[in-house]
A = this chain, B = another copy of it.
Amino acid sequence: MSVDYKAYFEQHREAHLNELKEWLAIPSISALSEHKGDVARAAEWIASKLKEAGLEHVEIHQTEGHPIVTADYLHAEGKPTLLIYGHYDVQPVDPLHLWQTPPFEPDIRDGKLYARGATDDKGQLFLHVKAVEAILKEEGELPVNIKFCIEGEEEVSSPNLPRYVDANKDKLTADAVLISDTSLLAPGKPAISTGLRGLCSMELTLHTANSDLHSGTYGGGVPNALHAMVSLLASLHDDKGRVSVEGFYDGVLELSPEMREEFAKQQFDEEKLKKDLELDALFGEEGYSFVERVGARPTLELNGVYGGFQGEGSKTVIPREAHAKITCRLVADQDPQAVLDAIEAHLKAHTPVGAKLTFKPKEKAFAFNIDPSHPMLQKAADAFENVYGTRALFTKDGGSIPIVERLSSTLNAPAVMMGFGLPDENLHAPNEHFNLENFDKGLLTIVEYLKLV
Protein backbone atom coordinates (compact mmCIF):
# COMPACT_ATOMS: atom_id res chain seq x y z
CA MET A 1 0.00 0.00 0.00
CA SER A 2 1.25 3.45 -0.74
CA VAL A 3 -1.06 4.85 1.94
CA ASP A 4 -0.31 3.81 5.53
CA TYR A 5 -3.80 2.69 6.54
CA LYS A 6 -2.55 1.39 9.89
CA ALA A 7 -1.53 4.93 10.80
CA TYR A 8 -4.77 6.31 9.36
CA PHE A 9 -6.95 4.04 11.48
CA GLU A 10 -4.86 4.63 14.60
CA GLN A 11 -5.26 8.36 14.11
CA HIS A 12 -9.05 8.07 13.69
CA ARG A 13 -9.53 5.29 16.24
CA GLU A 14 -11.11 7.32 19.01
CA ALA A 15 -13.44 9.15 16.65
CA HIS A 16 -14.49 5.86 15.01
CA LEU A 17 -15.20 4.21 18.35
CA ASN A 18 -17.20 7.19 19.52
CA GLU A 19 -19.28 7.05 16.35
CA LEU A 20 -19.89 3.33 16.77
CA LYS A 21 -20.92 3.86 20.40
CA GLU A 22 -23.48 6.39 19.23
CA TRP A 23 -25.02 3.75 16.96
CA LEU A 24 -24.87 1.02 19.62
CA ALA A 25 -26.76 3.29 22.01
CA ILE A 26 -29.84 3.05 19.78
CA PRO A 27 -31.89 0.03 21.00
CA SER A 28 -32.82 -1.24 17.53
CA ILE A 29 -34.46 -4.50 18.69
CA SER A 30 -36.37 -5.70 15.64
CA ALA A 31 -38.36 -8.38 17.49
CA LEU A 32 -40.11 -5.93 19.83
CA SER A 33 -42.69 -3.63 18.30
CA GLU A 34 -42.15 -0.94 20.95
CA HIS A 35 -38.67 -0.41 19.47
CA LYS A 36 -39.92 0.29 15.93
CA GLY A 37 -38.91 3.95 16.23
CA ASP A 38 -35.44 3.00 17.48
CA VAL A 39 -34.93 0.62 14.57
CA ALA A 40 -35.85 3.44 12.16
CA ARG A 41 -33.39 5.76 13.92
CA ALA A 42 -30.61 3.19 13.56
CA ALA A 43 -31.34 3.02 9.81
CA GLU A 44 -31.14 6.80 9.48
CA TRP A 45 -27.91 6.83 11.46
CA ILE A 46 -26.12 4.37 9.14
CA ALA A 47 -27.55 6.11 6.04
CA SER A 48 -25.99 9.38 7.17
CA LYS A 49 -22.64 7.62 7.78
CA LEU A 50 -22.72 6.10 4.29
CA LYS A 51 -23.17 9.62 2.86
CA GLU A 52 -20.33 10.97 5.01
CA ALA A 53 -18.13 8.10 3.77
CA GLY A 54 -18.62 9.29 0.20
CA LEU A 55 -21.07 6.69 -1.04
CA GLU A 56 -23.72 7.66 -3.56
CA HIS A 57 -27.45 7.00 -4.01
CA VAL A 58 -27.90 6.51 -0.29
CA GLU A 59 -31.56 5.48 0.10
CA ILE A 60 -33.80 4.31 2.91
CA HIS A 61 -36.50 1.97 1.61
CA GLN A 62 -39.56 1.48 3.77
CA THR A 63 -40.94 -2.07 4.00
CA GLU A 64 -43.84 -3.67 5.81
CA GLY A 65 -41.40 -4.12 8.66
CA HIS A 66 -38.15 -2.22 9.19
CA PRO A 67 -36.33 -0.21 6.49
CA ILE A 68 -33.62 -1.35 4.06
CA VAL A 69 -30.70 1.00 3.46
CA THR A 70 -28.82 0.94 0.14
CA ALA A 71 -25.93 2.96 -1.30
CA ASP A 72 -23.28 2.47 -3.99
CA TYR A 73 -20.02 3.58 -5.55
CA LEU A 74 -19.80 2.40 -9.17
CA HIS A 75 -16.86 4.25 -10.68
CA ALA A 76 -14.22 1.47 -10.82
CA GLU A 77 -14.64 0.64 -14.48
CA GLY A 78 -13.65 -2.88 -15.45
CA LYS A 79 -13.33 -3.92 -11.83
CA PRO A 80 -15.57 -6.39 -10.03
CA THR A 81 -18.55 -5.36 -7.94
CA LEU A 82 -19.00 -6.32 -4.31
CA LEU A 83 -22.39 -6.21 -2.60
CA ILE A 84 -21.77 -5.61 1.10
CA TYR A 85 -24.58 -6.97 3.24
CA GLY A 86 -25.09 -6.37 6.96
CA HIS A 87 -27.80 -5.63 9.48
CA TYR A 88 -28.40 -2.84 11.94
CA ASP A 89 -31.04 -4.57 14.06
CA VAL A 90 -30.15 -6.38 17.30
CA GLN A 91 -31.43 -9.16 19.54
CA PRO A 92 -33.57 -8.55 22.64
CA VAL A 93 -31.57 -8.03 25.84
CA ASP A 94 -33.19 -10.08 28.58
CA PRO A 95 -32.21 -11.34 31.08
CA LEU A 96 -31.29 -7.74 31.73
CA HIS A 97 -30.01 -8.34 35.28
CA LEU A 98 -27.10 -10.37 33.96
CA TRP A 99 -25.57 -7.44 32.04
CA GLN A 100 -22.61 -5.89 33.85
CA THR A 101 -23.24 -2.55 32.12
CA PRO A 102 -26.55 -1.62 30.46
CA PRO A 103 -26.85 -3.10 26.94
CA PHE A 104 -27.42 0.28 25.29
CA GLU A 105 -24.76 2.21 27.18
CA PRO A 106 -21.66 1.07 25.27
CA ASP A 107 -18.65 0.59 27.52
CA ILE A 108 -15.03 -0.27 26.72
CA ARG A 109 -13.35 -2.59 29.26
CA ASP A 110 -10.15 -4.62 28.79
CA GLY A 111 -9.94 -3.85 25.10
CA LYS A 112 -13.52 -4.95 24.45
CA LEU A 113 -16.51 -2.86 23.48
CA TYR A 114 -19.58 -4.04 25.41
CA ALA A 115 -23.08 -3.37 24.05
CA ARG A 116 -25.95 -5.23 22.42
CA GLY A 117 -25.05 -5.33 18.71
CA ALA A 118 -21.33 -4.68 19.33
CA THR A 119 -20.33 -7.80 17.36
CA ASP A 120 -23.70 -8.83 15.88
CA ASP A 121 -23.73 -6.94 13.61
CA LYS A 122 -23.38 -3.17 13.99
CA GLY A 123 -19.70 -3.36 14.97
CA GLN A 124 -18.76 -5.61 12.06
CA LEU A 125 -20.82 -3.72 9.49
CA PHE A 126 -19.35 -0.43 10.70
CA LEU A 127 -15.88 -1.70 9.67
CA HIS A 128 -16.94 -1.82 6.01
CA VAL A 129 -18.27 1.74 6.05
CA LYS A 130 -15.09 3.05 7.64
CA ALA A 131 -12.81 0.98 5.34
CA VAL A 132 -14.55 2.40 2.25
CA GLU A 133 -14.43 5.91 3.74
CA ALA A 134 -10.70 5.56 4.44
CA ILE A 135 -9.83 4.63 0.86
CA LEU A 136 -12.04 7.37 -0.60
CA LYS A 137 -10.57 9.97 1.74
CA GLU A 138 -6.95 8.91 1.24
CA GLU A 139 -6.98 7.94 -2.43
CA GLY A 140 -10.03 9.72 -3.86
CA GLU A 141 -11.41 6.56 -5.48
CA LEU A 142 -12.16 2.89 -4.76
CA PRO A 143 -10.34 -0.01 -6.43
CA VAL A 144 -13.67 -1.93 -6.78
CA ASN A 145 -17.31 -1.15 -7.32
CA ILE A 146 -19.26 -1.30 -4.07
CA LYS A 147 -22.93 -1.68 -3.28
CA PHE A 148 -24.34 -1.68 0.23
CA CYS A 149 -27.55 -3.46 1.18
CA ILE A 150 -28.27 -3.17 4.88
CA GLU A 151 -31.37 -4.48 6.59
CA GLY A 152 -33.06 -4.11 9.98
CA GLU A 153 -34.75 -7.50 10.20
CA GLU A 154 -31.96 -10.08 10.28
CA GLU A 155 -32.69 -11.04 13.88
CA VAL A 156 -36.29 -11.83 12.91
CA SER A 157 -35.26 -13.87 9.85
CA SER A 158 -35.46 -11.15 7.19
CA PRO A 159 -39.17 -11.30 6.33
CA ASN A 160 -39.03 -8.40 3.84
CA LEU A 161 -35.57 -8.38 2.28
CA PRO A 162 -36.12 -11.36 -0.10
CA ARG A 163 -39.01 -9.54 -1.82
CA TYR A 164 -36.87 -6.42 -2.14
CA VAL A 165 -33.97 -8.42 -3.59
CA ASP A 166 -36.25 -10.21 -6.08
CA ALA A 167 -37.65 -6.87 -7.23
CA ASN A 168 -34.22 -5.21 -7.49
CA LYS A 169 -32.01 -7.94 -8.93
CA ASP A 170 -30.40 -5.67 -11.52
CA LYS A 171 -29.69 -2.94 -9.04
CA LEU A 172 -28.07 -5.38 -6.60
CA THR A 173 -26.24 -7.62 -9.09
CA ALA A 174 -22.63 -8.26 -8.03
CA ASP A 175 -19.66 -10.57 -8.45
CA ALA A 176 -19.74 -11.49 -4.80
CA VAL A 177 -21.73 -10.78 -1.67
CA LEU A 178 -19.43 -9.71 1.15
CA ILE A 179 -20.65 -10.27 4.69
CA SER A 180 -19.07 -9.80 8.09
CA ASP A 181 -21.50 -11.39 10.53
CA THR A 182 -19.51 -14.46 11.61
CA SER A 183 -16.43 -15.15 13.75
CA LEU A 184 -12.76 -15.94 13.76
CA LEU A 185 -12.06 -19.40 15.15
CA ALA A 186 -10.17 -17.88 18.07
CA PRO A 187 -8.03 -14.80 18.68
CA GLY A 188 -5.50 -14.60 15.84
CA LYS A 189 -7.10 -17.51 13.97
CA PRO A 190 -9.19 -16.08 11.12
CA ALA A 191 -11.89 -18.12 9.41
CA ILE A 192 -14.06 -17.84 6.34
CA SER A 193 -17.38 -19.56 6.75
CA THR A 194 -18.35 -21.79 3.85
CA GLY A 195 -21.50 -23.08 5.46
CA LEU A 196 -24.36 -21.78 7.55
CA ARG A 197 -27.02 -23.83 9.23
CA GLY A 198 -30.62 -23.37 8.12
CA LEU A 199 -33.33 -22.63 10.60
CA CYS A 200 -36.94 -23.11 11.46
CA SER A 201 -38.73 -21.82 14.50
CA MET A 202 -42.05 -22.34 16.17
CA GLU A 203 -44.15 -21.53 19.21
CA LEU A 204 -46.44 -23.88 21.02
CA THR A 205 -49.06 -23.52 23.69
CA LEU A 206 -50.83 -26.15 25.75
CA HIS A 207 -54.21 -25.36 27.30
CA THR A 208 -55.93 -27.45 29.93
CA ALA A 209 -58.85 -26.05 31.97
CA ASN A 210 -60.55 -22.76 31.13
CA SER A 211 -59.11 -21.17 34.27
CA ASP A 212 -56.14 -21.49 36.55
CA LEU A 213 -57.20 -23.78 39.41
CA HIS A 214 -56.42 -24.04 43.12
CA SER A 215 -54.05 -26.92 43.75
CA GLY A 216 -55.84 -27.72 47.01
CA THR A 217 -59.31 -28.01 45.53
CA TYR A 218 -58.25 -29.71 42.30
CA GLY A 219 -54.66 -30.95 42.70
CA GLY A 220 -54.28 -34.58 41.68
CA GLY A 221 -57.60 -34.67 39.87
CA VAL A 222 -57.20 -32.45 36.82
CA PRO A 223 -54.55 -31.97 34.12
CA ASN A 224 -51.85 -29.37 34.81
CA ALA A 225 -50.70 -27.52 31.68
CA LEU A 226 -47.11 -27.44 32.98
CA HIS A 227 -46.98 -31.18 33.61
CA ALA A 228 -48.28 -31.71 30.10
CA MET A 229 -45.70 -29.27 28.70
CA VAL A 230 -42.62 -30.71 30.43
CA SER A 231 -43.68 -34.21 29.44
CA LEU A 232 -44.28 -33.14 25.82
CA LEU A 233 -41.02 -31.19 25.55
CA ALA A 234 -39.02 -33.96 27.21
CA SER A 235 -40.25 -36.31 24.47
CA LEU A 236 -38.41 -34.27 21.81
CA HIS A 237 -34.96 -35.62 22.72
CA ASP A 238 -33.64 -38.94 23.92
CA ASP A 239 -31.38 -38.85 26.96
CA LYS A 240 -28.28 -38.78 24.73
CA GLY A 241 -29.33 -35.47 23.16
CA ARG A 242 -30.53 -36.92 19.84
CA VAL A 243 -33.79 -35.48 18.53
CA SER A 244 -36.52 -38.12 18.81
CA VAL A 245 -38.80 -36.66 16.15
CA GLU A 246 -39.42 -39.09 13.30
CA GLY A 247 -38.06 -37.69 10.04
CA PHE A 248 -36.10 -34.90 11.71
CA TYR A 249 -32.76 -36.11 10.32
CA ASP A 250 -34.02 -36.55 6.71
CA GLY A 251 -31.64 -34.73 4.36
CA VAL A 252 -28.78 -34.60 6.88
CA LEU A 253 -25.49 -35.64 5.28
CA GLU A 254 -23.48 -38.19 7.27
CA LEU A 255 -19.96 -36.91 7.84
CA SER A 256 -17.32 -38.29 5.47
CA PRO A 257 -13.78 -38.97 6.75
CA GLU A 258 -12.63 -35.95 4.67
CA MET A 259 -15.13 -33.67 6.37
CA ARG A 260 -14.09 -34.96 9.77
CA GLU A 261 -10.49 -34.23 8.86
CA GLU A 262 -11.44 -30.65 7.89
CA PHE A 263 -13.17 -30.18 11.26
CA ALA A 264 -10.20 -31.69 13.09
CA LYS A 265 -7.95 -29.03 11.54
CA GLN A 266 -9.62 -26.45 13.74
CA GLN A 267 -7.93 -28.16 16.73
CA PHE A 268 -10.85 -26.99 18.80
CA ASP A 269 -10.15 -27.13 22.52
CA GLU A 270 -13.24 -28.63 24.18
CA GLU A 271 -11.64 -28.52 27.64
CA LYS A 272 -11.08 -24.78 27.27
CA LEU A 273 -14.69 -24.30 26.16
CA LYS A 274 -15.93 -26.15 29.25
CA LYS A 275 -13.72 -23.99 31.42
CA ASP A 276 -14.79 -20.76 29.71
CA LEU A 277 -18.48 -21.61 30.08
CA GLU A 278 -17.97 -23.07 33.58
CA LEU A 279 -19.59 -26.32 32.49
CA ASP A 280 -19.02 -29.70 34.13
CA ALA A 281 -19.70 -31.36 30.81
CA LEU A 282 -20.55 -30.57 27.22
CA PHE A 283 -23.69 -32.21 25.91
CA GLY A 284 -24.85 -33.34 22.50
CA GLU A 285 -25.32 -36.18 20.06
CA GLU A 286 -23.05 -39.13 20.74
CA GLY A 287 -20.26 -39.83 18.29
CA TYR A 288 -19.57 -36.22 17.27
CA SER A 289 -17.07 -33.62 18.41
CA PHE A 290 -18.24 -30.16 19.45
CA VAL A 291 -17.31 -28.57 16.10
CA GLU A 292 -19.02 -31.39 14.22
CA ARG A 293 -22.17 -31.06 16.33
CA VAL A 294 -22.35 -27.34 15.73
CA GLY A 295 -21.02 -27.30 12.16
CA ALA A 296 -22.62 -30.32 10.57
CA ARG A 297 -25.44 -31.60 12.77
CA PRO A 298 -28.92 -30.15 13.20
CA THR A 299 -30.24 -29.17 16.61
CA LEU A 300 -33.59 -28.52 18.26
CA GLU A 301 -33.34 -25.97 21.06
CA LEU A 302 -35.86 -24.76 23.63
CA ASN A 303 -35.35 -20.99 23.68
CA GLY A 304 -38.09 -20.21 26.16
CA VAL A 305 -40.55 -22.16 28.33
CA TYR A 306 -43.02 -20.54 30.67
CA GLY A 307 -46.29 -21.01 32.47
CA GLY A 308 -47.83 -20.49 35.89
CA PHE A 309 -46.53 -18.34 38.70
CA GLN A 310 -43.13 -16.69 38.34
CA GLY A 311 -43.33 -14.05 41.06
CA GLU A 312 -41.72 -13.89 44.45
CA GLY A 313 -42.96 -16.40 47.02
CA SER A 314 -45.28 -19.24 46.17
CA LYS A 315 -48.70 -19.66 44.62
CA THR A 316 -50.57 -22.93 44.87
CA VAL A 317 -52.01 -22.79 41.40
CA ILE A 318 -52.59 -25.37 38.68
CA PRO A 319 -51.81 -23.38 35.54
CA ARG A 320 -54.27 -23.50 32.66
CA GLU A 321 -51.68 -22.80 29.98
CA ALA A 322 -48.00 -23.28 29.22
CA HIS A 323 -45.84 -21.95 26.42
CA ALA A 324 -42.66 -22.88 24.60
CA LYS A 325 -40.50 -21.27 21.94
CA ILE A 326 -38.35 -23.57 19.84
CA THR A 327 -35.78 -23.14 17.08
CA CYS A 328 -34.04 -25.78 15.01
CA ARG A 329 -30.73 -25.28 13.23
CA LEU A 330 -30.66 -27.31 10.01
CA VAL A 331 -27.88 -28.64 7.83
CA ALA A 332 -27.26 -29.96 4.31
CA ASP A 333 -30.54 -30.69 2.52
CA GLN A 334 -32.95 -30.58 5.43
CA ASP A 335 -36.16 -28.91 4.28
CA PRO A 336 -37.30 -26.45 6.97
CA GLN A 337 -40.99 -26.96 6.13
CA ALA A 338 -40.62 -30.74 6.32
CA VAL A 339 -38.93 -30.38 9.71
CA LEU A 340 -41.75 -28.15 10.99
CA ASP A 341 -44.29 -30.70 9.76
CA ALA A 342 -42.43 -33.57 11.43
CA ILE A 343 -42.25 -31.73 14.75
CA GLU A 344 -45.92 -30.75 14.60
CA ALA A 345 -46.88 -34.38 13.96
CA HIS A 346 -44.69 -35.53 16.88
CA LEU A 347 -46.18 -32.93 19.22
CA LYS A 348 -49.73 -33.85 18.22
CA ALA A 349 -49.04 -37.53 18.78
CA HIS A 350 -47.43 -36.92 22.19
CA THR A 351 -49.78 -34.27 23.65
CA PRO A 352 -50.85 -35.66 27.05
CA VAL A 353 -54.45 -36.45 27.94
CA GLY A 354 -56.48 -33.40 28.89
CA ALA A 355 -54.28 -30.85 27.10
CA LYS A 356 -54.95 -29.04 23.84
CA LEU A 357 -52.04 -28.09 21.55
CA THR A 358 -51.66 -24.91 19.53
CA PHE A 359 -48.69 -25.02 17.15
CA LYS A 360 -47.46 -21.92 15.33
CA PRO A 361 -44.70 -22.31 12.75
CA LYS A 362 -42.62 -19.15 12.36
CA GLU A 363 -39.36 -18.55 10.42
CA LYS A 364 -37.78 -21.02 8.05
CA ALA A 365 -34.55 -21.02 6.00
CA PHE A 366 -32.44 -23.57 4.16
CA ALA A 367 -28.81 -24.22 5.10
CA PHE A 368 -26.13 -22.61 2.88
CA ASN A 369 -22.90 -24.09 1.60
CA ILE A 370 -20.20 -22.87 -0.78
CA ASP A 371 -17.04 -24.42 -2.29
CA PRO A 372 -13.95 -22.81 -0.70
CA SER A 373 -11.94 -23.03 -3.95
CA HIS A 374 -13.84 -20.05 -5.44
CA PRO A 375 -11.31 -17.25 -6.23
CA MET A 376 -13.32 -14.61 -4.35
CA LEU A 377 -12.97 -16.77 -1.21
CA GLN A 378 -9.31 -17.50 -1.82
CA LYS A 379 -8.62 -13.75 -2.08
CA ALA A 380 -10.42 -13.23 1.21
CA ALA A 381 -8.07 -15.78 2.76
CA ASP A 382 -5.14 -13.84 1.26
CA ALA A 383 -6.41 -10.60 2.80
CA PHE A 384 -6.62 -12.21 6.22
CA GLU A 385 -3.14 -13.67 5.82
CA ASN A 386 -1.67 -10.27 4.92
CA VAL A 387 -3.12 -8.64 8.03
CA TYR A 388 -3.28 -11.41 10.64
CA GLY A 389 -0.17 -13.26 9.46
CA THR A 390 -2.23 -16.48 9.40
CA ARG A 391 -4.19 -17.81 6.48
CA ALA A 392 -7.91 -18.12 7.22
CA LEU A 393 -9.36 -21.61 7.64
CA PHE A 394 -12.53 -22.47 5.73
CA THR A 395 -15.12 -23.49 8.28
CA LYS A 396 -18.75 -24.46 8.67
CA ASP A 397 -20.63 -22.10 10.94
CA GLY A 398 -23.34 -23.27 13.32
CA GLY A 399 -25.32 -20.08 13.02
CA SER A 400 -27.92 -19.13 10.45
CA ILE A 401 -28.07 -16.02 8.33
CA PRO A 402 -31.08 -17.06 6.26
CA ILE A 403 -30.66 -14.17 3.87
CA VAL A 404 -27.19 -15.37 2.77
CA GLU A 405 -28.64 -18.34 0.91
CA ARG A 406 -31.34 -16.12 -0.60
CA LEU A 407 -28.93 -13.36 -1.69
CA SER A 408 -26.44 -15.82 -3.12
CA SER A 409 -28.98 -17.85 -5.07
CA THR A 410 -31.06 -14.87 -6.27
CA LEU A 411 -28.04 -12.84 -7.42
CA ASN A 412 -26.13 -15.94 -8.53
CA ALA A 413 -23.04 -14.68 -6.70
CA PRO A 414 -20.79 -16.37 -4.15
CA ALA A 415 -21.12 -15.27 -0.54
CA VAL A 416 -17.82 -14.29 1.08
CA MET A 417 -18.19 -14.47 4.84
CA MET A 418 -15.28 -12.70 6.48
CA GLY A 419 -16.07 -12.73 10.16
CA PHE A 420 -14.38 -10.46 12.69
CA GLY A 421 -16.23 -11.56 15.80
CA LEU A 422 -15.07 -14.18 18.29
CA PRO A 423 -17.14 -17.22 19.29
CA ASP A 424 -17.29 -16.16 22.95
CA GLU A 425 -18.49 -12.60 22.40
CA ASN A 426 -21.94 -13.41 23.84
CA LEU A 427 -23.94 -12.61 20.78
CA HIS A 428 -27.67 -13.03 21.57
CA ALA A 429 -26.74 -13.12 25.27
CA PRO A 430 -25.99 -10.68 28.10
CA ASN A 431 -22.64 -8.86 27.92
CA GLU A 432 -22.29 -9.01 24.14
CA HIS A 433 -19.00 -7.42 23.16
CA PHE A 434 -16.55 -6.90 20.30
CA ASN A 435 -12.83 -7.42 20.77
CA LEU A 436 -11.12 -4.25 19.60
CA GLU A 437 -8.10 -6.16 18.28
CA ASN A 438 -10.41 -7.42 15.55
CA PHE A 439 -11.98 -3.98 15.17
CA ASP A 440 -8.50 -2.68 14.29
CA LYS A 441 -7.42 -5.64 12.15
CA GLY A 442 -10.86 -5.90 10.56
CA LEU A 443 -10.58 -2.41 9.10
CA LEU A 444 -7.20 -3.27 7.59
CA THR A 445 -8.36 -6.67 6.31
CA ILE A 446 -11.31 -5.14 4.50
CA VAL A 447 -9.13 -2.44 2.91
CA GLU A 448 -6.77 -5.22 1.84
CA TYR A 449 -9.58 -7.31 0.35
CA LEU A 450 -11.03 -4.38 -1.61
CA LYS A 451 -7.59 -3.88 -3.13
CA LEU A 452 -7.02 -7.60 -3.89
CA VAL A 453 -10.25 -8.50 -5.69
Contacts and interface: CB of A to CB of B under 8 A. Distances in A.
Contacts of A224: 283, 301-302
Contact of A284 (B94, B222, B237): B222
Contacts of A234: 230-231, 233-234
A53 to B, nearest CB: 30
Interface string A207-251: 011111111111111111011011101100101010000000000
Q: Pick the most buried of A297, A305, A352: most chain B CB atoms within 10 A of its CB.
A: A305
A233 B91 CA distance: 29
A32 to B, nearest CB: 6
Given A212-B95, A315-B304, A220 B398 contact: yes
B302 A226 contact: yes
A266 to B, nearest CB: 13
Nearest to A211: B429
Contact of A227 (B32, B208, B237, B400): B237
B315 A309 contact: no
A230 B227 contact: no
Q: Which of the four size classes fits the interface of chain A? A: 35 or more
Nearest to A331: B220
Number of copies: 2
Contact of A312 (B31, B315, B431): B31
Interface string A14-36: 00000000000000001111000
Contacts of A398: 216-221
Interface string A310-325: 1111111111101101
Contacts of A223: 279, 281-283
Interface stretch (A121-129, A254-262, A334-342, A420-428): A420-428
Contacts of A305: 226, 229-230, 305-308, 322
Contacts of A197: 216
A430 interface: yes
Contact of A430 (B212, B310, B363): B212
A231 to B, nearest CB: 5
A134 B282 CA distance: 70
A276 to B, nearest CB: 8
A265 interface: no
Contact of A428 (B91, B316, B322, B353): B316
A277 B209 CA distance: 5
A298 B215 CA distance: 11
Contacts of A216: 197, 329, 397-400, 428
Interface string A330-362: 000000000000000000000011101000001
A226 B215 CA distance: 24
Nearest to A277: B209
Contacts of A98: 211-212
Interface string A90-103: 01101100100000
Given A219-B299, A221-B293, A314 B363 contact: yes
Given A210-B278, A218-B294, 4 more contacts: A183-B217, A211-B277, A215-B428, A220-B297
Interface of A: 30-33, 91-92, 94-95, 98, 156-157, 183, 197, 199, 201, 203, 208-224, 226-227, 229-231, 233-234, 237, 239, 241, 277-285, 290-291, 293-294, 297-299, 301-320, 322-323, 325, 327, 329, 352-354, 356, 362-363, 397-400, 423, 426-431
- 8 closest A-B pairs by beta carbon, nearest first, are A216-B399, A31-B313, A220-B299, A304-B308, A234-B234, A212-B429, A226-B302, A304-B309
